[in-house]
């Protein structure tokens, strides 16, 4: 189901939400670090619910400035500094603070909290589900990775065995849509996804997977246009291999 069993939580780092599939993990009590970057702002998250010693969040995932993030540390935990000097940020990371970036992060976090309260991501989830329904109706050989697990509301990982993800990315780019083969942080790498391989998916399935992400500005018309374009590319692929 895409969830990870952690044998040594005190010495492990685990994402709350996987970057490629959107699958949400069950974080074990006593986990050293959790990466909340994918989930923060899209789901209600409170650090004291998680059972981890530390958590990482990133501003650009909320629409804030790049290069700014936060390390959330459990009260009473002593963290040795990696950068010493002037003692900024409670002595944990010396150096002049990026005040403008931090202010932008704060504004983005406030906006994200309003979006959650207003049901914005519930609407995005409904659009994601509609996209998957349209694709499934028109392409019966499509595999939706993690669709039976708890997922982020905006992420769909779909795969067609034998149709390379890189090919789909190029074809959809020509059609005016940006998708990725794998997570954004591994873009440009042609090797099959380690995450999908670890889930037990065969090489042809893993190589044929793409990630489709929606956002608060995505419309139903855009979802339907994407499905039509993708299904057209799929039909051409099936005709070539027939």
pLDDT per position as a tens digit, 58-114: 999 999 999 999 999 998 888 888 778 887 777 777 888 889 999 999 999 999 999
Strand order in the sheet with 143-145: 143-145, 155-159, 209-213
The Cα–Cα gap between 27 and 218 comes to: 30
pLDDT at 178 over 80: yes
What pTM does this model have? 0.87
Q: How many CB atoms lie within 10 A of CB 164?
A: 17
- Tell me the three state secondary structure of residue 163: coil
pLDDT of residue 91: 72
Please give the DSSP secondary-structure letter assigned to residue 185: G
- Tell me the three state secondary structure of residue 214: coil
pLDDT at 196 over 70: yes
- CATH assignment, 9-117: 3.40.640.10
Domain range 120-241, CATH class:
alpha beta
pLDDT at 190 over 80: no
Closest CA to 3 of 32, 33, 28: 28
Over range 182-193, report the average pLDDT. 58
Output the average pLDDT for the chain: 91
Instruction: Please report where in the chains the tokens 């492990």 appear, as a residue.
Output: 12
In the numeric block, which tokens belong to residue 144? 């939706």
Domains 9-117 and 120-241 are alike in CATH topology: no
The Cα–Cα gap between 181 and 88 comes to: 39
The residue ranges of every structural domain in the chain are 9-117, 120-241
Would you call 185 a catalytic residue per the annotation? yes
The Cα–Cα gap between 198 and 221 comes to: 35
Q: Give residue 1's pLDDT band: very low, low, confident or very high (50, 70, 90).
A: low
> Between residues 178 and 92, which one has the greater pLDDT?
178
Q: Give residue 191's pLDDT band: very low, low, confident or very high (50, 70, 90).
A: low
| Percent of the chain with pLDDT strictly greater than 90 | 71
214, 154 Cβ separation under 8 angstroms = yes
42, 24 Cβ separation under 8 angstroms = no
In the numeric block, which tokens belong to residue 121? 């991501």
> Between residues 183 and 153, which one has the greater pLDDT?
153
* H-run or E-run covering 55: strand 52-58
Over range 202-227, report the average pLDDT. 95
In the numeric block, which tokens belong to residue 142? 């499509």
134 burial level (CB within 10 Å; 0-12, 13-18, 19+): middle
For the chain, state the CA radius of gyration: 20
The Cα–Cα gap between 180 and 169 comes to: 6
Residue 144 pairs in a beta bridge with: 158
* pLDDT digits 0-9 by tens, 33-64: 999 999 999 999 888 878 899 999 999 999 99
Residue 14 pairs in a beta bridge with: 34
The residue annotated as part of the active site, out of 185, 190, 198, 235, is: 185
């Amino acid at each position: 189901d895409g969830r990870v069993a952690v044998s040594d939580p005190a010495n492990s780092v685990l994402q709350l939400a996987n970057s490629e599939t959107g699958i949400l993990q069950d974080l074990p009590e006593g986990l050293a670090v959790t990466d909340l970057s994918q989930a923060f702002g899209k789901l209600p998250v409170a650090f004291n619910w998680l059972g981890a010693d530390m958590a990482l969040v990133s501003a650009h995932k909320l629409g804030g400035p790049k290069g700014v993030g936060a390390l959330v540390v459990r009260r009473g935990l002593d963290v040795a500094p990696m950068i010493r000097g002037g003692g900024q940020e409670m002595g944990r990371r010396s150096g002049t603070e990026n005040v403008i970036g931090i202010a932008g992060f704060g504004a983005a976090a406030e906006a994200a909290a309003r979006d959650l309260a207003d049901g914005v991501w519930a609407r995005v989830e409904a659009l994601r589900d509609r996209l998957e329904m349209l694709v499934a109706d028109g392409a019966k050989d499509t595999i939706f990775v993690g669709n039976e697990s708890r997922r982020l509301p905006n992420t769909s990982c779909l795969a067609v065995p034998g149709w390379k993800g890189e090919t789909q990315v190029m074809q959809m780019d020509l059609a005016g849509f940006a998708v990725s083969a794998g997570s954004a942080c591994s873009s440009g790498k042609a090797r099959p996804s380690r995450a999908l391989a670890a889930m037990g998916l065969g090489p042809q399935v893993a190589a044929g997977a793409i990630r489709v992400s929606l956002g608060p500005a995505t419309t139903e018309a855009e979802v339907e246009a994407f499905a039509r374009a993708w299904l057209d590319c799929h039909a051409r692929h099936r005709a070539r291999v027939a």
